[in-house]
Amino acid sequence: MYGYDQTASAGHHSGGHGQHAPHGSHAQQAQQAQHAQHGQYVPHQPHGQHGQHGQHGQHQAPPDPSGYGQQQPLYPEPSPPSLGEGVRAFATGTMSPEDFQGIFHNSRVYCPRGDTPGFLALHSTQQPVIPMFSTLKELRAYAGKESRYFVITGAEVLDLLPSGYGFVLDIEGDHRVVFDAKAVTEMVDFAMHRMYG
Tens-digit pLDDT profile for residues 59-105: 555 555 555 556 666 777 778 789 999 999 999 999 999 999 999 99
Q: CA of 130: how far to CAs of 32, 57, 66, in Å? A: 83, 72, 48
pTM across the whole model: 0.60
Span 83-196 CATH architecture = 3-Layer(aba) Sandwich (3.40)
Residue-wise burial string across 27-49, b where 16 or more C-beta atoms lie within 10 A, e elsewhere: ebeebbeeeeeeeeeeeeeeeee
CATH 3.40.1350.90 spans which residues of the chain?
A: 83-196
